Amino acid sequence: MKKRLIILSILAIVIGLFPLNHSFASELSNKLKGRILLQVESKGEAWYVNPKDSNRYYMANGSEAYNIMRSLGVGITNKDLEKIKADKNIAKKQQGKIFLQVENHGEAYYIDINGNNYYLKDGEAAYQIMRQLGLGIKNSDLIKITLSEKDKTASSSLEFYQVVDVVDGDTIKVKINNETKALRLIGLDTPETLDPRKPVQCFGREASQKAKELLLGKEVRLEVDSTQENIDKYGRLLRYVWLDDGTLYNEKMIKDGYAHEYTYEVAYKYQVQFKAAQKEAQDNKKGFWSSTTCNGDTTKEAQQLVSTTTPQVSLNQTSGKYYTSSYSTSKYYYPESCKGWEDLNTSYLKSFNSLEDLLKTYSSKVLSPSCN
């Protein structure tokens, strides 16, 4: 993080945005209309200054930047868009604006200060534009630019809060105004580990451990969703959690196969995005979607995946390569002739030149029943 801030500080100097004189502080919003700004004295937070109202809009990450820039875009015909693309002089007159192709499918384009156009294909493209074109700005100058009404109503989401406890993958505790508050995270559900009515579920421990790795002791941003209740029936705040690098934790857990997408009664803000993340995890057999872990069924007991048997073959069966998964709950190995190894998650796939070598490293592995 420190390295990134140093880079952003250098960027601010290189582009010539030095501390602004108070004599023209009142004109700051007008001077920076259409610009993307990065807070070099903080954690590189990104803002877009809307040319229409001169207000600044917070862009927490690529997806948020994409949504904001599209929502602030103005319609344009294909003919006029082509003129902008073809003539820099025309384009410069539209600098800082976002155009939406009304005659096509609403494709969005951002015009920078030099008249270059950038296609906002998706959140990733918007994120790259944020980082490539962002101007460094001091906090003392940023606050002189009026905050958008949208961000005024959600100003709490711009603050950082420390995670003091991770209950499990979808429930945490944070320190808010010197009080510890329990949060139930929106849009995801991780396998159970603490419910007294249920056994520890498949991949539950792994999900909890991943949550601790990402959150415990860290400072995060919280986001409220107006489509959901503020507090659930257990008194927990319902929130999204953003990591300090702009990653949406709720989505990441689903995308990496540690959580299921979960909708409670009413569709939430990022539902489409989270469902797509789940499909990606399932297609790529990540986490509990892998055949070597839960195969997507996290309702089974975690203990069912722990081997209590000993190797069933002798060490001198060493013909060809042997494969296994390094994942903690995996218990099988596969000779090369047994195609079951091809279904293993490549992130954990390990190969050995002999069975003896494999068992020296993974002594508790047994031959997969599919190979009999």
pLDDT band of 157, cuts 50, 70, 90 = low
Asked whether the predicted pLDDT for residue 361 surpasses 90, the reply is no
23-32 per-position pLDDT tens digit: 444 578 888 9
- What pLDDT, on the 0 to 100 scale, is given for residue 158? 65
Same domain, residue pair 20 and 132: yes
Catalytic annotation on 239? no
Domain encompassing residue 346: 306-371
Buried b (16+ CB within 10 A) or exposed e, 130-152: bbebbbbbbeebbebbebbeebe
Lowest mean pLDDT among 35-49, 107-121, 287-301: 35-49
Q: Other CB atoms closer than 10 Å to residue 283's CB: what's the count?
A: 9
40-52 per-position pLDDT tens digit: 876 678 889 999 8
Same domain, residue pair 19 and 33: yes
Lowest mean pLDDT among 67-71, 240-244, 285-289, 298-302: 67-71
Same domain, residue pair 136 and 6: yes
From 130, 153, 176, the end of a domain falls on 153
- What pLDDT, on the 0 to 100 scale, is given for residue 58? 85
What CA–CA distance (Å, rounded) separates 276 from 267? 14
Catalytic annotation on 184? yes
101-119: average pLDDT: 90
Q: Which of 192, 206, 251, 261 is catalytic?
A: 192
21, part of any domain: yes
From 153, 186, 207, the end of a domain falls on 153
Same domain, residue pair 235 and 314: no
Catalytic annotation on 236? yes
Lowest mean pLDDT among 5-9, 143-147, 155-159, 290-294: 5-9
Asked whether the predicted pLDDT for residue 153 surpasses 80, the reply is no
298, part of any domain: no
What CA–CA distance (Å, rounded) separates 339 from 371? 8
Q: Which of 35, 56, 184, 221 is catalytic?
A: 184
Number of domains, the chain: 3
pTM score:
0.49
> Does 286 or 354 have the greater pLDDT score?
286
251-259: average pLDDT: 97
56-96 per-position pLDDT tens digit: 988 877 777 788 877 898 999 999 999 999 999 999 999 99
Q: Which of 70, 131, 236, 356 is catalytic?
A: 236
Asked whether the predicted pLDDT for residue 308 surpasses 70, the reply is no
Same domain, residue pair 12 and 112: yes
From 153, 172, 205, the end of a domain falls on 153
Same domain, residue pair 273 and 165: yes
Percent of the chain's residues with pLDDT above 70: 86
* Cα angle 168-173-175, degrees, rounded to a multiple of 5: 160
334-357: average pLDDT: 83
